[in-house]
């Protein structure tokens, strides 16, 4: 990040002497942040959706500005991020969506990662249509009726079937299995990114274009436009155990953080901040909106949020020694 804090050489030396603390005590008894970069480097994986970018922006800003760390953000797909725990490329994943298989591999079997607790965010994944479609076709939000509406959703990419639009292929999704196992005359088409998925949703609302699409919360778009979730067969524990046989809706996710074992053992104040980091969907959506719709860089968005929400983030800072 560009906003490096500059302190005197004396304070820098003191900062180095108290590695693992959040700052140094001045003669007046107040806490002064450690000099930028003096505490070491934290490598944060950043997965490809703006909500995660908001997490990384705020945590990274606090690590640098308040604790004096250098932050390296690594833009990685979800599964690749977990591989970074083993090869040392990643210290922390700030927003994990389930991934029990990866937890088993890297936490239980290889023992190179640890769970770090919840982010506070509640994750929801589902199928949605624009509000105008639910108004015009009230029964379209029941999956049993999707078959009779398939022609509405045909596109040049859907192979003569109705289109179900997904995002980045690396996102958590059971959609191909759901379409097959529920015997729906639909084809999953990948838009390629969160931005493309959002653009399609916005166009569907503005231009009254039919759209059935995969989407999720937290997401800033829900605060600006209305979409209605399609009711799929209710989720029950274990109904998604076999990815090929999934025929139920997605579970609700308590999003959590995962860190490398090495970072957990040696990360000091940085690890404590990550462990303490906990906010709401509204917090994340606000920062994501700054980045997406208000033309702010991630750094500027983080700075604005931090300046306006001290009562939230102050509790994340580790106690000074």
pLDDT tens, residue by residue, 140-182: 999 999 999 999 999 999 999 999 999 999 898 999 999 999 9
- 215-260 pLDDT, tens digit per residue, is 999 999 998 999 999 999 999 999 999 999 999 999 999 999 999 9
Closest CA to 194 of 28, 53, 310: 53
The answer to whether 9-121+255-316 and 123-253 have equal CATH topology is yes
Dihedral, CA atoms, 264, 270, 274, 278, nearest 10 degrees?
A: 150
Domain 123-253 sits in CATH at 3.40.190.100
Backbone angles phi and psi of 228, in degrees to 5: -120, 130
Q: Quote the tokens at residue 24.
A: 């140094």
Q: Three-state DSSP class for 245?
A: helix
Q: Three-state DSSP class for 309?
A: coil
What mean pLDDT do residues 32-60 have?
Answer: 86
Angstrom distance (rounded) from CA 110 to CA 41: 24
Tell how many helices (H) and how many strands (E) occur in the chain.
12, 11
Per-residue pLDDT band for 39 (boundaries 50, 70, 90) equals confident
Dihedral, CA atoms, 139, 140, 144, 148, nearest 10 degrees?
A: 110
Average pLDDT, the chain: 89
CATH class given for the domain over 9-121+255-316: alpha beta
Angstrom distance (rounded) from CA 36 to CA 15: 10
| Domain locations along the chain | 9-121+255-316, 123-253
Angstrom distance (rounded) from CA 42 to CA 13: 20
- Say what the pTM is: 0.82
Q: Do the beta carbons of residue 186 and residue 146 sit within 8 Å?
A: yes
């Amino acid at each position: 990040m560009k906003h490096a804090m500059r302190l005197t050489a004396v304070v820098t030396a003191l900062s180095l002497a108290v590695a693992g603390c959040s700052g140094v005590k001045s003669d007046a008894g107040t806490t002064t942040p450690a000099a930028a970069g003096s505490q070491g480097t934290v490598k944060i994986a950043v997965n490809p959706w703006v909500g995660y970018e908001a997490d990384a922006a705020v945590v990274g800003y606090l690590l640098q500005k308040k604790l004096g760390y250098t932050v390296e953000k690594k833009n990685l797909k979800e599964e690749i991020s977990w591989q970074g725990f083993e090869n040392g490329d990643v210290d922390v994943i700030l927003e994990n969506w389930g991934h029990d298989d990866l937890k088993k591999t890297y936490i239980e079997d290889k023992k190179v990662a640890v769970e770090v607790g919840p982010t506070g965010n509640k994750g929801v994944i589902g199928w949605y249509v624009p509000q105008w479609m639910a108004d015009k076709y009230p029964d379209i939000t029941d999956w049993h009726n999707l078959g009779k509406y398939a022609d509405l959703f045909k596109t040049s990419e859907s192979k003569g079937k109705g289109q179900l639009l997904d995002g980045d292929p690396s996102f958590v999704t059971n959609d191909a299995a759901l379409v097959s196992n529920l015997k729906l005359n639909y084809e999953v088409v990948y838009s390629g990114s969160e931005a493309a998925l959002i653009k399609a949703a916005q166009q569907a609302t503005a231009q009254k274009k039919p759209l059935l699409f995969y989407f999720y919360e937290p997401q800033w778009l829900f605060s600006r436009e209305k979409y209605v979730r399609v009711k799929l067969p209710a989720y029950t524990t274990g109904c998604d155990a076999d990815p090929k046989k999934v025929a139920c809706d997605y579970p609700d996710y308590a999003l959590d953080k995962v860190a490398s074992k090495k970072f957990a053992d040696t990360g000091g104040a940085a690890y404590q901040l990550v462990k303490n980091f906990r906010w709401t969907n509204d917090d994340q959506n606000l920062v994501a909106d700054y980045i997406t719709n208000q033309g702010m860089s991630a750094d500027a968005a983080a700075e604005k949020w931090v300046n306006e929400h001290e009562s939230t983030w102050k509790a994340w800072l580790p106690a000074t020694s």
